[in-house]
Structure 1
Amino acid sequence: MAQQTRIVGTTVVVDADTVVTDAEIAFDAGSGRVTYLGPTRPGRVDSIDGRDRIVAPGLVNTHGHAAMSLLRGASDDADFPSWLAAVRGLEVGMTHADVRAGLALAMAEMIRSGTVGFCDMYLWDETLLGDVVSAGLRVNAATAIFGADAVGYPAATTETGADVLHRTAALAAAFRGERTVRVSYGPHAFYTAGDELIAKVARRSSRDGLDVHIHLSETRAEVRASVADTGRSPIGRAVDAGLTDGRLLVAHAVHPVGDDVGLLARAGVTVAHNPVSNLKLGAGIAPLAEYLSGGVRVGLGTDSAASNNSLDLFEELKLAALLPRGTTLDPAAVSGATSWRMATAGGAAALHPELSGRLAVGEPADLVMVGTDRAAGVPLGDPVALLAFATTGAAVTDLFVAGRGLLRAGRLTTLDEAAVRADAAHRVDRLRATSHPERDDRRS
């Protein structure tokens, strides 16, 4: 039996509705699951002192492009076309080694700020998934597919969208026995991949039992063009194409029209809500309160560091609860507990159908420890409210995924952070020196 990890004398947030004080939680890396949660038991040998800490389910980043961490700050305070030109000018020069470096940098940031798993759309292959396994995070990796003949990452691979579509099932099969990895299809959007290719994705998804991750209805311009060209919103076209016949994750969905909310709810679709990115790019404010009251499943995401600058999900947590209050003038529109539920249970369900995003005996030991021994932690009051409104990623001290410690007492254990940062900085300098901004119709 694997050695038990015990955290004692702590406050455990089981889920958004349940908190246990003066508690102990125990787990082991062998099963990767919680083996005990209750009153602190006698004997504190080989245990972690959890006083002045909150133990809570780890956060799940429901939408992003991790490797684009190298493009952080590439274009700030610019309109969308200018931002896209700057970012794409760098992205087309990213080699496969650059993608690996960007992924490593993003994982270091996510681990440090309390994220245990992420849903990602980008270039994915066995090497990159192996890097995630080594780092210890969970991932639902969607292989990005643009047009059938489009090469999305020309300096990293010669693969076209058709090539990616063809090899995704084999990639999923190669990692089927890995408990922290799930592979999905990632058609970028209707305005890039087109209806015919997306219909093919839907058929492959149904055949292979794989999820689909797609951008839909991010901007008003996208929705208007879709309605003008096809008579249907992007969300309606996803239903028509058969994408909602399986597990579908929709990024953004800032501008639903007509019966889009009902379509998403009835199909059991998860919407990845990215409030910071939506605001930074001027895409707008998604009708979160309407989604929740309409029965739509929602998780929280950061989008890429190129359109957010930060991968700290605690920023999204707070903003997700506050924005609807401002747009509806109702301070009860979205509670802190609801925001916390989206960042944990909502994201976990999108990451893998067997994950609950809560802590209980038999559940995966995916958890974060947050320090309360600081000014912002006094008075403690409601721990869930503290996590939703007063915590940032800087307060995270420890992180465990499937019982494995990835961050211990503020130190990364699976990544050489200094080396990751130095490598990323060197590559960014090279990319910026050789960048050629260009216009492109696709969105990264």
Structure 2
Amino acid sequence: MTTYKDPHTSTGLRVGAPKLSIAEILETVAGGDIPLRFTAYDGSATGPADAEYGLTLNSPRGATYLATAPGDLGMARAYVAGDLEATGVHPGDPYELLRVMGDELHFHRPSPLALATITRSLGWDLLRPITPPPQEHLPRWRRFAEGLRHSKTRDAEVIHHHYDVSNTFYEHVLGPSMTYTCAAYESPTQSLEDAQHNKYRLVFDKLGLKAGDRLLDIGCGWGSMVRYAARRGVRVIGATLSAEQAEWAQKAIAEEGLSDLAEVRHSDYRDIVETGFDAVSSIGLTEHIGVGNYPAYFGFIKDRLREGGVVLNHCITRPDNKHSARAGGFIDRYVFPDGELTGSGRIITEMQDVGLEVRHEENLREHYALTLAGWCRNLVENWDACVAEVGEGTAKVWGLYMAGSRLGFERNVVQLHQVLAVKPGPRGEANLPLRPWWTG
């Protein structure tokens, strides 16, 4: 016989059939070993009292989020809504808490008897699905109103969801480079800004660009690669689906006096009609394309290149080529709707199959972990300003996403590959140096 406090009252009830407290439910699904301090609104608690990190479930609504969407989506809903609070970490960088949970907290499916007990303990009122936090995007099955998956209209909508948050917010988080892609570090202690500059130098050098060349940068974001190349005399067209990014980039181009060499268009990359480019850079776009669209995507790139032109594809990948390409619940609903990832082998295969000759690839996995740590530091340092700009819920989404992604790159759950390829001439001529012509 167990004492149970009804979540909707403050009364402790003595009941004949055993019911579990919220803490006991956590112990049941976690196998009993809780590496952090957990407390709940029903007065129950578990885990070491002196644990450095902890979680507090402070409302029945949070229990409903957790129960109706088990896994990362339910936890994200409760956390973003403020019903699940973390202790011992800053909301702009909950990395250490996520690390402990990932390494030491292992959930398993309860037995049918235990599941029945959990259901009876929570009660049906807590098991009815409720409206998620406003930061959440529609589930996949409800996105058809925005068009077919990876159609131009639907891609524009999901890009708007993620990137048109606030340029000011991104300035706080990304820093002066306004670069929302993996940096290239010369050492773990290099500054984020220097590492981002080093990444653009690496891309520029791998593409073999020189003054007078023509570059197409698709998925150009705020135009940092566009401006880097234009400063060195390259004529550049950038394309982004984000109206706010395009406006910011065009202003930056004008302020630097680069308008004669560079432009950023608010445009789907598929609407770029110019051809004969010496190089194409795609930095952080492939994740949004959809694996099924790779042939058309790489075919588009090939068609825009002159013979002997080169392309660098820089994107997040999976560590193998076997798993589902679709993102998990939290990433799909809160971060990258319709995003898909696959292994570098699939990317290389698709590039080869359209006639691009792959010359080099490398994995910058650890570099992305360092990049994300830098963004989290910026978010923490500018937390009050970020919350004032976008609201606490959205700021918490970003802290959770970036800290969790950092852990994913460190644990080899995801990787970051750069793949360099050339469009050979009709007799196979590429006219490239025999050995790599850039430094790391």
Query: What TM-score results when the alignment is normalised by the length of structure 1?
Result: 0.28
More relative contact order in 1 or in 2 (CA 8 Å, sep 6+)? 1
Query: What TM-score results when the alignment is normalised by the length of structure 2?
Result: 0.28
Larger Rg: 2
Give the structure with the larger strand fraction.
1
